[in-house]
Amino acid sequence: MSNTVINIENAVVSYREDIALRGVSLRVKSGEFVGIVGPNGAGKTTLLTIVNGLGKLIHGQVQVLGHHVTPGSGHFLRKKVGYVAQAQNIDPRMPMNVREVAMIGRYGLLGLLRRPGEHDWKIVDEMLELVGMTHLARRPIGHLSGGEQQRVAIARCLAQEPELFLLDEPTASLDWRAKTDILELVKLIHDSRHLTTLFVTHDLSSLPVACGRVVLMKEGLIWGEGSPEAALTDDNLSQLYDMPLSAVKARRKEAILI
């Protein structure tokens, strides 16, 4: 298939004594929005790291944007892959402002010995505008709230002009409002740019509505997949999270009330 942008075949990844992925295969088509759901420690983050070449495969292979991911091709590929992690603890005294942090997204593309020019700053300013952070552009990055920092992280990622958009629990530790805003922003970006997006979360309420396919992960394996309606049934969740069916039903009923 020519429009397959990610093709993972039987990937095994191990850190020290733990096996993080135990044979995972996944294909993602161009423009798809895939949610990856599962309990902590299921291997969701590891799955993202083998896509951007930071995780080390001990078995299997991964093709991204038509290239085999190898330790050698990692740098080259990462320039085309945007990655937003969960909110980081940033030193409030960090001597960098919001605009400079967003510009880091273009550093890989620019390559060694080249400085950002007018064109690069224009792109960064556009992206800050898109995520609604223009009014804070000159602020020290450490003075922003968690939600604002995540918006900047998304702007940084878009400034990279990525062909793939990876988000790893971008809304973890954010308040309800900030979480909702980030999810809407991610949906907006996917809808307007048709950017292939992988969205990892352990929290079902953080799964964006834009999500077209859900992959369920448990203990280093893909445990199930399908459309959100088909995959996220009470039965599936009960088994995925090892919770009694009645508890899952009660919890989801509560969640609807929010």
Partner 1 sequence: MDLSILGYQFMQNAILSAVLGGIACGTIGVFVVTMHMPFIGVCMSHAAFAGALLGLWLGFNPLLGAFGVSLASAAVIGPLADRGELSPETSVGVIFSLMLGLAFLFMGLMPGTKSGALELLWGSILTNTRSDVILLGIVAAVVVGLVFLFYKEFQATIFHRDMARSVGIPATVMLYGILFLTGATITASLRSIGGLLIFSLILNPAAAAYQLTYSMKRMFLLSAGFAVLSGLIGLLMSYLFNIPSGATIVITSSAIFGIATFFSPKRKVKPWQKKPLVEEKQ
Minimum CB separation from partner 1 for residue 117, in Å?
12
Residue 12 in contact with partner 1, rule: CB under 8 A: no
| C-alpha span between 239 and 258 (Å, rounded) | 24
Q: Is 209 buried (19+), middle (13-18) or exposed (0-12) by CB count in 10 A? A: exposed
* Residue 7 vs 97, nearer CB to partner 1: 97
User: Quick one: which segment of 63-71, 108-116, 183-191, 237-245 binds partner 1 (CB under 8 A)?
Assistant: 108-116
**Which of the residues 121 through 150 are near partner 1 (CB under 8 A)?**
135, 139-141, 143
How many chain residues bind partner 1 (CB under 8 A)?
38
Residue 160 in contact with partner 1, rule: CB under 8 A: yes
Q: How many CB atoms lie within 10 A of CB 226?
A: 14
User: Quick one: which segment of 87-95, 173-181, 221-229, 239-247 binds partner 1 (CB under 8 A)?
Assistant: 87-95
Q: Is 183 buried (19+), middle (13-18) or exposed (0-12) by CB count in 10 A? A: buried
Residue 101 in contact with partner 1, rule: CB under 8 A: yes
- For tokens 């999810």, the residue is 183
Q: Helix, strand, or coil here: 35?
A: strand
Residue 97 in contact with partner 1, rule: CB under 8 A: yes
